[in-house]
Amino acid sequence: MKVTAAQVQVVAQMARLSVPADRLDAVAAELSAVLDAFDVLATIPLNEASADADAQLARRPDEVVGELGPDQVKLNSQHVNDSSFVVPKVLE
Amino acid sequence: VSVPGTIEQAQAALASGEMTSESLVQACLDRIAAHDAEVGAMLAVDTDKSLAAARSSDARRRAGAPRSLEGIPVVVKDNLCTAGLVTTAGSKALEGFVPLSDATAVRRLREAGAIVVGKTNLDEFGMGSSTTNSAYRVTKNPFDAARTAGGSSGGSAAALAQGFTLGALGSDTGGSVRQPAAFTHTVALKPTYGRVSRSGLIAYASSLDVVGPMGRTVSDVKRLYLAIAGHDEADATSDQRPVDASEPSVSGRTIGVAQEWLEGLDAPIADALDEARATLERAGARVVEVSLPSSGLALATYYVIACCEAASNLARYDGIRYGPRAAANTLTETYVRTRSERLGPEVQRRLLLGTFALSAGYADQYYRRAQAARLRIRHEFDEALRDCDALLGPVSPVGPWRLDEPTPSAVQSYQRDALTVPVNLAGLPALAVPTGFGGTPRLPLGVQLVGRMFEEATLFALGRALEVEPGPSLYLGRDVLTKAIRT
């Protein structure tokens, strides 16, 4: 699987990461090499993929247990005010 | 007071009054102060609180109410939350993060009387097998400081081998307690998925992550395991079955050796495996050949699934709720700059791989096929374990490598995990047991036993049969120990 520098840029954007322009080709080559090693999975027919295997792991309903209060949630943030996390303006 | 070799020895000394928990914890703190600059095992040392807890423990013992791990010092991998004690997961993204509560496994250790002395180094978020991917320091092997202690729980393993503690917690997503144990002549259990709560374990790959106990002997690891195992409502994948504390017999057991795991092993590791096989036969077990034909798919399957899950789990590290934040003018720029500055290169590589493998047009090719391969691998283990009580195999195809070796490519680095990741994909329990020293120079060797789901008790029995007789000097600490194995 050959990954291009342009694809790296798109994937980095999705992952909310920044790859410097002078590293794009090197990162593309690294990812290509790893994805080549993943090609062994092409021998698995897609129709062998059943329902999500992870679904077998859940043993109780996915429900919130023991919620934290707002003050506790904010304790490890360095940018908070009385009621919220403070972030740069989203809308002008 | 010197640090005893094992929890068992320490418990006897505490019970007889030969030592107090305070003196024992102080002895561990002294060893950390004397040796950690060289080894690099610790990320935080909780001196005042651990000594205060030791004094409380001594009072409890005097009152006649000791618990199962009363007064025993332990260390905890730094991806397990500890209330009031900084927890970084080896990442600058969590620099200064102080959890509000203990991980369930940590809480249960404390409830059993154990004393948390400090937090140990790891590859960032558990992503690596050398403890060189930590954002803070490199952990070195106590038996040869020029070599890796393994990873990602290398800090916990090195702390045990160096005599900083009597027990440790690690985590194992693809071999992260077993491989460092094999590299440092310590014992580690990867429990069955769902047996030990993951609540408070900082997630890397949620369907693979497990918390694992580590110690110097199989009996010590069993003690720690019995303290932390069992159902926990806070973990949606926690199993409700009772924990088996029995002591089954080794005689009459059937042990399988997968032929696919024997290819490309370093000679000392192959020899150690042969020796382990002979030891089990002498103990009355029958050793047979089995096949796991899809072993060649395991590495790709593991890395696709682990990277995809990491891409989701690590999305939360954006500088808003935890850790320092990069200066930026917009919200998106805040996320991107913070993550790019705070996450290390190996973590970023895995996030890019996971995001790519989940992206439109590629999810079928990678993620769905990996899930199918995972089921196939699980079924093959089930088949092999239908006729066998456990499987015996190597932990790693290579021994602890030199830290000054040229940096391998990502693929070469991942290939070192080929013998541990299949067990995580199948969710099975596995115990890494030291088998002595070998090769040139002489370095620790170990093997792993893989059991049926929730049959950890069988692994402990088999592990005890394999355990090398320590002899009088083995647990006297690294200085004596290293001298002993070199002569």
What pLDDT is stored for residue A91 in this prediction? 78
Query: Active-site residue numbers of B?
Result: 77, 152, 176
Beta bridge partners of residue B402, listed in sequence order: B147
Pairing of strands B73-77, B167-171: parallel
What type of residue sits at position B275? Answer: E
Determine contact: A35 vs chain B, CB below 8 A: yes
Nearest-angstrom CA–CA distance, B382 and B386: 6
Estimate the crossing angle of helix B456-466 against helix B218-228, to 10 degrees: 160
Q: Between B457 and B484, name the one with better pLDDT.
A: B457
- In Å, what is the CA distance from A89 to each residue of A77, A86, B336, B337, B341? 17, 9, 16, 16, 21
Structure token pair of residue B190: 């990867």
Q: How confident is the model at residue B475 (pLDDT cuts 50, 70, 90)?
A: very low
CB contact under 8 A, B343 and A17: yes
CB contact under 8 A, B321 and A76: yes
- Residue that has been written with the tokens 């769902």 in this structure: B194
Q: For B169-203, how does the pLDDT look when each residue is reduced to its tens digit (9 = 90+)?
A: 999 999 999 999 999 999 999 999 999 999 999 99
Q: Which residues contact B107 (CB under 8 A, 6 or more apart)?
A: B101, B200
Q: How confident is the model at residue B473 (pLDDT cuts 50, 70, 90)?
A: very low
Q: Which of B349, B352, B368 sits opposite A46 (nearest CB)?
A: B368
Contact B169, B182 (CB under 8 A): no
What type of residue sits at position B321? Answer: R
Q: Which of A49, A75, A90 sits opposite B372 (nearest CB)?
A: A49
Residue B436: count other Cβ atoms within 10 Å of its Cβ: 17
Determine contact: A21 vs chain B, CB below 8 A: no
Contact B210, B196 (CB under 8 A): yes
What type of residue sits at position B190? Answer: K
Pairing of strands B144-148, B140-141: antiparallel
Residue A68: count other Cβ atoms within 10 Å of its Cβ: 11
Determine contact: B340 vs chain A, CB below 8 A: yes
Contact B370, B421 (CB under 8 A): no
Q: Identify all chain A residues contacting B331, using CB atoms and an 8 Å cutoff.
A: 87-90
CB contact under 8 A, B356 and A79: no
Looking at residues B2-26, what average pLDDT do you find? 95
Q: For B326-360, how does the pLDDT look when each residue is reduced to its tens digit (9 = 90+)?
A: 999 999 999 999 999 999 999 999 999 999 999 99
Q: For A22-42, how does the pLDDT look when each residue is reduced to its tens digit (9 = 90+)?
A: 999 999 999 999 999 999 999
Compute the Cα dihedral for B43, B47, B48, B51 and give only its sign.
Answer: positive
Claim: this prediction has a pTM higher than 0.90 = yes
Max alpha carbon distance in chain B (Å)? 70
Residue B487 has pLDDT above 50, yes or no: no
Q: For B276-306, how does the pLDDT look when each residue is reduced to its tens digit (9 = 90+)?
A: 999 999 999 999 999 999 999 999 999 999 9
Q: For B136-148, how does the pLDDT look when each residue is reduced to its tens digit (9 = 90+)?
A: 999 999 999 999 9
Neighbouring C-alpha atoms within 13 Å toward the C-beta of B202: 30
Residue B478 has pLDDT above 80, yes or no: no
CB contact under 8 A, A49 and B353: no
Residue B372: count other Cβ atoms within 10 Å of its Cβ: 21
Q: How confident is the model at residue A51 (pLDDT cuts 50, 70, 90)?
A: low
Nearest C-alpha of chain B: how many angstroms from A22? Answer: 15
Average pLDDT over chain B reads: 95
Q: Identify all chain A residues contacting B330, using CB atoms and an 8 Å cutoff.
A: 88-90
Nearest-angstrom CA–CA distance, B39 and B158: 7
- Residue that has been written with the tokens 């950690």 in this structure: B36
Residue B471: count other Cβ atoms within 10 Å of its Cβ: 9
Could you give the ipTM of this predicted complex? 0.91
Strand order in the sheet with B42-45: B42-45, B115-120, B73-77, B167-171, B211-215, B187-190, B430-438, B443-451, B390-394, B254-258, B286-290
Determine contact: B327 vs chain A, CB below 8 A: no
Q: How confident is the model at residue B486 (pLDDT cuts 50, 70, 90)?
A: very low
Of B82, B226, B76, B223, residue with least CA distance to B164: B76
Of B140, B128, B149, B166, residue with least CA distance to B19: B166
Contact A17, A8 (CB under 8 A): no
Structure token pair of residue B449: 């036993």
Q: Which residues contact B292 (CB under 8 A, 6 or more apart)?
A: B258, B260, B261, B377, B380, B381, B384, B422
Q: How confident is the model at residue A82 (pLDDT cuts 50, 70, 90)?
A: confident
What pLDDT is stored for residue A64 in this prediction? 76
Contact B200, B99 (CB under 8 A): yes
Contact B61, B12 (CB under 8 A): no
> Which one of A76, A81, A89, A92 makes the best mutation probe of the B interface by having the most chain B beta carbons within 10 Å?
A76
What type of residue sits at position B305? Answer: I
Q: Which residues contact B357 (CB under 8 A, 6 or more apart)?
A: A38, B304, B307, B308, B363, B366, B367, B370
